[in-house]
Amino acid sequence: MSGPFILPETAAVLAGVAEQGGPHLADMTAADMRATYLQMGAVFDVPAEASVRTSDFVAAGCRMRAYFPGVAEAGPVILYTHGGGWVIGDLDTHNPLCTLLAAATGLRVVAVDYRLAPEHPFPAAHDDCMVAARYLAGSPAELEANVTGLAVAGDSAGGNLALYVAREMVGTVVAQLLIYPLVDSTAPEQGSYLDFAEGFILDRKLMDRFIDDYLPNHADRGGAEASPGLHPLPADLAPAVIVTAGLDPLRDQGRALAARMAAMGIETHLVEASGLIHGIATMRAAFPTADRIIRRAVLLFADTIRR
């Protein structure tokens, strides 16, 4: 039986990571994991879009970074919630991606630096993102022009947070971009979660570490916040662009979410990055195919927002 389809660029990155050796990410302290993740971005990601202006501010108890593709004008704003298993990641790890979002859509983007586990377990990240979303929807002065609607975007655990905001703010959120979203935190013993449990950077061991750190209470793991894929979705949920990666433990979760939404009559666009791994949205220099796919997904997202 043949193995999964793997692009040459993926094989090259995986071989390079294997040659580096060193401790597994899941065996590091949270501080070392965060530093390593930031270093990975410096090696594997593209530079930020130079045309986009940024402004950091603190509001509603959270640090945020606003991205302006030009002179601020009244219109929708994109809230970006970064990935990293609710444990790693920050405004800097996802800075290039957020500049791409602003430049490609022509819209203001705001990334939220929500609290991280294990120092701040569930529901800290979910709470922070909701507070930030409500603050942005109120047309704060930091955005320099009125906000006429809110779109949400996020990758991995950030996709989980973006979907949470979309569910809680139905009628205000106009579109979603969910990049390989985590929608089942119960560690399902099936499908892609097992098929790619080892050898593809995000693996079962690292997922277990993230879930243990953010959701130490097992009773929270199957709830609607941590595992929205196991619960009913609002019938009037905003249209969504969902990106999956072919070699990702979370692939089947994204596929299933897209199928459910489409069956409900919700406008849904599924973009699959075949032969690629989890994390490609912040490793686009190493994965030129992923760069093209992410850009295409962002343009789909922009069209969805403007409808």
- Active-site positions read 156, 248, 278
SS3 130: helix
**Contact at 8 Å (CB) between 102 and 72?**
no
Rounded Cα gap, residues 41 and 37, in angstroms: 6
**Contact at 8 Å (CB) between 73 and 267?**
no
Rounded Cα gap, residues 251 and 212, in angstroms: 21
* Strand duo 53-59 + 62-68: pairing: antiparallel
**Contact at 8 Å (CB) between 151 and 301?**
yes
* Strand duo 75-81 + 147-155: pairing: parallel
DSSP per-residue string spanning 92-108 = TTTHHHHHHHHHHH-SE
Instruction: Note the residue count of the chain.
Output: 307
Q: What angle do CA 88, 90, 92 make, to 5 degrees?
A: 130
Torsion angle, CA of 199/294/269/112, rounded to 10 degrees? 90
